[in-house]
Amino acid sequence: MSRATAHAHPNIALVKYWGKRDLALNLPAVPSLSLTLARFETETTVTWGTTEDRFLFNGEAADPTTAAKIAQFLSLVDPARPPCNVDTANNFPSAAGLASSSSGFAALALAAVAASGQEWSKEQLSVLARRGSGSACRSLWGGFVEWKLGKRADGADSCGTPIAPSQWDVRMVVGVVSSKKKPTPSSAGMESTRLTSPYFPAWVETAAADVELGRKAVLDRDLAALGEVMESSTLKMHATMWTGRPTLNYWLPGTLGCLDAVQALRKAGIGAWATMDAGPNVKVLCLPEDSERVAIALAPWVERTDILAPGGDATVEQH
Ligand code: PMV
């Protein structure tokens, strides 16, 4: 029996991933670019070689769907694996558009491979994390990370890659409009969007140019350019969701309240830009010195705000 514990931070996409070109391998239809956040974290311990599979999620037995997903994922690490225990917990709301699956599968990939006694490169771990949840391939690294489309049919080159040098001290102010579990998981949402939205082809066509703009903005330390492409990518993604059949809307009234507040801040000369994922919560990109003011502006619309700095790489230790 051997055991390893991993820690990983969630990442928030600045240029979004939405839509798969291969469902089984979780290969994306578009490239994307993200920021890994400090403080919010998944801690996952894997014990390799127990008497039966036992999976705990935030201290309770994982529901059957999650348990099946974890079991399948562990078999990617070793198809002849022994029974394992997995104990995973988040210090932030799960499944509410706060990217808990990104840190979740990054931590599980790291802990499972280490507990199994294997040594994989970070790229291989990123490819593995991607199989659990696409966005997880970006959470192996801290700071700004790009997820390249890749060309290979087996997906071995579709993984995260850090944008270097990516130490740029920005802030993401997370406004939790609702911490309830989202009604439509992102995989189901992105597939129905891909199949039915007339806007989906335009979304795919413009994504690579958005990533280019985003990468350049990071390298130039140009917050306005990054904020603009982030908002544009976000709104294009949600437009494809709304125009699918059946329509898919993750926003709540508080989401629009936050968007109005961010526009008012910009009119007042504060550099602040908003993004939303598969949930109602709003994350606002700004400079550290403006983050308190942004949090105050969001406060009427949200349950809570968190001001988060860029986070570091995912880590693992064997014990
Ligand atoms: O990684 P998934 O399957 O949970 O999909 C994530 C999708 C978005 O969060 C909406 C966008 C992204 O790039 O993270």
Question: With contact defined as beta carbons under 8 Å apart, do 44 and 12 qualify?
Answer: no
Average pLDDT, the chain: 95
Question: With contact defined as beta carbons under 8 Å apart, do 265 and 257 qualify?
Answer: no
Question: With contact defined as beta carbons under 8 Å apart, do 97 and 278 qualify?
Answer: yes
Question: With contact defined as beta carbons under 8 Å apart, do 176 and 305 qualify?
Answer: yes
Atom of ligand 1 nearest to the CA of 12: 14
In three-state secondary structure terms, 289 is helix
Beta partners for residue 111, in sequence order: none
pLDDT tens digits along 166-210: 689 999 999 999 988 778 989 999 999 999 999 999 999 999 999
Residue 59's pLDDT band (cuts 50, 70, 90): very high
Could you tell me which residues come within 8 angstroms of residue 75 by beta carbon, excluding any fewer than 6 positions away?
A: 81
Sign of the Cα torsion 252, 262, 241, 175 reads: negative
Question: Residue 153 burial by CB count (10 A; 0-12/13-18/19+): exposed, middle or buried?
Answer: exposed
CA of 17 to the centre of ligand 1 (A): 6
pLDDT at 97: 58
- Ligand 1 within 6 A of CB of 30: no
Question: With contact defined as beta carbons under 8 Å apart, do 215 and 229 qualify?
Answer: no
Q: What is the DSSP letter of 312?
A: -
Residue to mutate (ligand 1; options 186, 211, 229, 281; most atoms within 8 A of CB): 186
Question: With contact defined as beta carbons under 8 Å apart, do 162 and 270 qualify?
Answer: no
pLDDT tens digits along 76-126: 999 999 999 999 999 987 655 577 899 999 999 999 999 999 999 999 999
Question: With contact defined as beta carbons under 8 Å apart, do 135 and 13 qualify?
Answer: yes
Nearest residue by C-alpha to atom 10 in ligand 1:
277
**pTM for this one?**
0.96
Encoded tokens for 116: 């199994």
- Indicate the length of the chain as a whole number: 319
142: pLDDT strictly greater than 90: yes
Region 126-142: what's the mean pLDDT?
97
Encoded tokens for 225: 């350019």
Nearest residue by C-alpha to atom 8 in ligand 1:
277
pLDDT at 165: 75
Residue to mutate (ligand 1; options 16, 100, 126; most atoms within 8 A of CB): 16
pLDDT tens digits along 230-240: 999 999 999 99
CA of 185 to the centre of ligand 1 (A): 10
